[in-house]
Chains A and B, each alone.
Chain A
Amino acid sequence: EAGVAQSPRYKIIEKRQSVAFWCNPISGHATLYWYQQILGQGPKLLIQFQNNGVVDDSQLPKDRFSAERLKGVDSTLKIQPAKLEDSAVYLCASSSTPYTGELFFGEGSRLTVL
């Protein structure tokens, strides 16, 4: 069974530039999550989708971050404009239902903002 795919693995940008990350969840998983993990910290939920609808985006900085899951499968997370404090690993995860804490994570996309 293929795991959660993410790209790119690494990205370096200047502050005020934009960046986009892509995620393809495990086949059949209706629930998709984007987490932000700053070095030395645990993952923090940014947004949760159920199919193509948003379930929770309470911690998403909506002035600069956006995410979509148009066809209920893969998803894109965008940051525009980036700030220095956005340097982190962006983890995508999926699960078979929204009622489980057993998530399957991708390897993450490491963002460095200079």
Chain B
Amino acid sequence: EDQVTQSPEALRLQEGESSSLNCSYTVSGLRGLFWYRQDPGKGPEFLFTLYSAGEEKEKERLKATLTKKESFLHITAPKPEDSATYLCAGHLLQGAQKLVFGQGTRLTINP
């Protein structure tokens, strides 16, 4: 069964304290690995797409990396406005192409 699992479920950091979020996947026919940000009461917002192992993407304080079995979202010197739920999703090739989401990591940055 195709599965995307994120850890930890929740993470609380102090402002400026760097850390990483993990996304592991067991899917067949992975077309790409996507990261989204979701603020409370809002829909997810696209951040990154990663297609091949070793690929990296950066945006401000966020950097996403991909291996053959997992992806990491590194957050460097976070600010309170980085507080959100971060979702990863596998884009499947088989049949109708669709996104399979993980359960998300709820990130809180304390000032």
- Chain B 1-28 residues near chain A, CB threshold 8 A: 4, 6
Q: How far is the CA of A98 from the CA of B95 in the complex (A)?
A: 12
Distance (whole angstroms) from the CB of A1 to the closest CB of chain B: 14
B58 interfacial by beta-carbon distance below 8 Å: no
Q: Which residues of B contact A103 (CB under 8 A)?
A: 44, 46, 99
Q: Which of A40, A56, A107 contacts B42 (CB 8 A)?
A: A107
Residues of B in contact with A, size category = 20 to 34
Q: How far is the CA of A68 from the CA of B39 in the complex (A)?
A: 28
Contact between chains at A101 and B96 (CB < 8 Å): no
- Chain A 51-110 residues near chain B, CB threshold 8 A: 55-56, 91, 93, 98-108
Contact between chains at A42 and B43 (CB < 8 Å): no
Q: Which residues of A contact B98 (CB under 8 A)?
A: 45, 48, 56
Our count of residue pairs bridging A and B at CB distance below 8 angstroms stands at: 58
Contact between chains at A98 and B97 (CB < 8 Å): yes
- Using A56-B95, A93-B43, A107-B42 as known contacts, say yes or no to A43 and B34 having CB atoms under 8 A apart: no
Q: How far is the CA of A10 from the CA of B49 in the complex (A)?
A: 31
Task: List 23 interface pairs A-B (beta carbons < 8 Å), by A numbering.
Answer: A41-B104, A42-B102, A43-B44, A44-B101, A45-B98, A48-B96, A55-B96, A56-B95, A56-B96, A56-B98, A93-B43, A99-B97, A100-B91, A101-B49, A102-B34, A102-B46, A103-B44, A103-B99, A105-B44, A106-B43, A107-B41, A108-B42, A108-B43
